[in-house]
Structures are given as C-alpha cells and as structure tokens.
Structure 1
Amino acid sequence: MKFRETKFWETVTGSDLTREWKAFEGRAEALPDDYRAAWDQIKVHLLPHGDFSGRNLLPILDSALGLLEETAADGQSVHEVLGDDIPGFCTALVGGEGARTYRDRWREQLNRNVARKLNRLGG
C-alpha cells in the first residue's frame, strides 16, 4: 500500500515530472552543441501541445531525445535528421498538421460555458 501512496503523492505534487525533466536534461547535456540547440527548440515547440501538467508529452520528448542521441552517436548532422523545419517536425510528433493544442481545447470549453450561461439568461 505504501508504494501506491508514494506514487499517488508523486503524481499529485509533480515530483515525478521534475525527476523526468532532470533526466532529460542530463541526457541532453551529453549531446553535441548543435543537437542541444535543436533539443531546446523541440521543447519550445512541443510544450504548447501539452496538457495542464505536460505529462502527456513525456513519451514524445523521450522519443525525440532518443532520436537525437542515436543520430548524434551515428555521426549524422542535426540538419540531416531534422531538416530546416523543427516546428513542423514537432507538429508531426504530436499528431500531424492542425493538431489541437491545450489552448484550442480551453477556448472551446470556455465558449461552451459562456453559451450555456447565455442560454440560461435568455430562455
């Protein structure tokens, strides 16, 4: 029972996320400079696609970092791997062109709530 309580508490406090981010950053430190710069850009372009905690992005970030690690070890240039369009690469990772972001979902929910309240007032 203690394990479940600990895991629950880590999830609630986000300490598991902190550990994951530190592990990602530690792995990224071992990359060549151009790969680290690409990693920083990947994070910037993926974060808007995250949920409230960003927990849904962990597997995607792990895979992207793994790709960078493998290709750097193979001696490929970051340009060969990602090309010129890192934002497009990130969009493809999270579900393709036009993938909805948390802002889109939040905006739709807000619009539904406002419409409901206006309906109550008017009818």
Structure 2
Amino acid sequence: MNFWETITGSDLTREWKAFEARAEALPADYRAAWEQIKVHLSPYSGFTGRNLMPILDGALGLLEETAADGQSIQEVLGDDVEGFCAALAGGEGARNHRDRWREQLNRNVARKLGQLGG
C-alpha cells in the first residue's frame, strides 16, 4: 500500500469489491449472514474502516470454508450473530464508537469543570 492509496482509500475500495465478489459465490443463507456480519461489525470500525478489513477477511473465509464443508449457517454462527461479531472485534468488552465518544465527552466535561473550579 502506497501513500496515495492510504490517503484516497482506493486500496479499501479494491478490497471491499473483492469481498463482495467472494460473498456472491456463497449460498443464499450464507450471503444473508455476511450482510448481518457487516452490519454488526461496523460499530467497531475506526475512522476509515481499515481496522476491520482483516476481521472481515477472516469472517468471510470462515463462511466460505464452512459452506464448502456443507455445514449449516446455524452450526457456524449460532443464534447470536451480534455476539459472534463482538467476539471477532475483540471480545464482549470491545469498545465501539459510542464508547469512544462517551469517553471523549467525559474527558472534555471533566477538563472544563476543572477549569471552572480552578
């Protein structure tokens, strides 16, 4: 990845298109699960989404492998796709964008209150 790709995000666009092409080859129930995985992983994304690319690649690889083995999507993901995605993103305690914004807001308020009191 060169500087220009990093700035423009063209590398991400290329990777995303490759993911979608791979997902199109999956059976319908697996494609539906892929859509759910993308939705449930998006809160864990950084500003550019670059941090999710390896996670999405791994999740799609898992779907491809298990579909080829003939497993049902229920056997692979279970009933809790959101929990599965939280585990992929770093566990139940994984911070999402709301947690980061809340922490930033709390720091800013504490700093302002410290300025008013001192």
Q: What is the number of equivalent residue pairs in this alignment?
A: 118
Q: Distance in 1 between matches of 2:4 and 2:110?
A: 37
Match status 1:44 vs 2:39: yes
Match status 1:15 vs 2:10: yes
User: After the TM superposition, which parts of structure 1 deviate over 6 Å for at least 4 consecutive aligned residues?
Assistant: none
1:64 matched residue in structure 2: 59
Can you list the C-alpha shifts for 1:93-112, whole angstroms capped at 9, x where unaligned? 11111311122112211221
Q: Distance in 1 between matches of 2:58 and 2:67?
A: 14
* Alignment TM-score, normalising by the size of structure 2: 0.94
1:3 matched residue in structure 2: none
* SS of aligned partner of 2:76: helix
- Structure 2 counterpart of 1:39, which letter? W
2:111 matched residue in structure 1: 116
Could you list the runs of 5+ residues in structure 2 that have no partner in the other structure? none
Could you list the runs of 5+ residues in structure 1 that have no partner in the other structure? 1-5
Can you list the C-alpha shifts for 1:15-59, whole angstroms capped at 9, x where unaligned? 111111111101000000000000000000001011111111111
2:85 matched residue in structure 1: 90
Q: Quote the sequence identity (%).
A: 81
- Structure 2 counterpart of 1:75, which letter? G
* SS of aligned partner of 2:13: helix
Q: Distance in 2 between matches of 1:8 and 1:118?
A: 41
* Alignment TM-score, normalising by the size of structure 1: 0.90
1:30 matched residue in structure 2: 25
Q: Distance in 2 between matches of 1:9 and 1:107?
A: 33
